[in-house]
Amino acid sequence: MQAVSRFLLGGVFALVAILGLGMASHFGGGLHYSGYLLFLISVGLIFSQISGISFGHGDAASGLPLQPILRSLASIRMRMDSTVGPMGAIEKFATGGLIGVFAVIALFSAARHGEGAGYWGGLAVFALLIGMIFYLITRAKFGSDGDATH
């Protein structure tokens, strides 16, 4: 079962890489280079999954080292929260608004390309950004410890 999930994850990475190349070919300026960056990151993730690099406690062929990456990101977030303080309600509102603007841009991009990879890629980016907004709402409602704040 683990092999099937790793295979599907590799397929998702390949799809994101192809969408990155499509983005690089259709847009100019910053989006052109962002498409190349998305492609390179996706290919790097595919190669790390193929090589079986793992920094966790699992076996050598366990695929991506997600546990250490998530642990290090969580420790960075904890250090930021202790020095900068947790994100306030106004900052979360502004961040959600900015993410919403990018989601609308993704929908315009999907509508502009009609059918094909550009259309589905725009919808996928829109869905990802809406998911990020829901994550921000959850963090605002429950906080970092999981208890509801009023």
What is the rounded average pLDDT of the residues 32-45? 85
How much is the average pLDDT of 120-134?
Answer: 87
Of 44, 6, 8, 24, nearest in space to 117 by CA: 24
Average pLDDT for residues 128-141, to the nearest whole number?
A: 79
Determine the Cα–Cα distance for residues 44 and 55; give it in Å rounded to an integer: 16
State the first-to-last Cα distance of the chain, in angstroms, to the nearest integer.
42
Reported pTM: 0.41
* pLDDT tens, residue by residue, 71-100: 777 787 777 666 655 667 777 788 888 998
Residue 80 CA: distances (Å) to CA of 6, 19, 26, 87: 32, 33, 37, 10
Residue 87 gets which letter from DSSP? P
